[in-house]
Amino acid sequence: MSLLKHDDLYGAMHYLRNAPVIDMYAVSNNVILAQQFADKMFLIQKKVNLCRLSENAKLQASMSNENHVAIIISYSGETKFILEVAHILKQKQTPIIAITSIADNHLSSLS
């Protein structure tokens, strides 16, 4: 029931360092967290795409590829819309970093 493992953290760091584009997905209050992250990445010249409209998130996911990395923020990891986006990203072979508050959930199993 661990939420964070050393190897997972190292893998996430590797993806973030090497990906030319970071795509972020979040809903509700988590969009604020995503925007704060995007602002910090801007300062170190990392390109971050963040959709503020949920309709555009599926389009953004469909334009992703294995060179991007996706960060998905979800409290439960069970939000239907977020899982739909995650499935699209899996089809596009985009690495997924899931940030959730519950260790065992569908989103974590897709990341």
Question: What digits encode the pLDDT tens for the residues 27-70?
Answer: 888 889 999 999 999 999 999 999 876 778 999 999 999 999 99
Rg (CA), the chain: 13
pLDDT at 1: 42
Residue 21 CB neighbours (<10 A) = 16
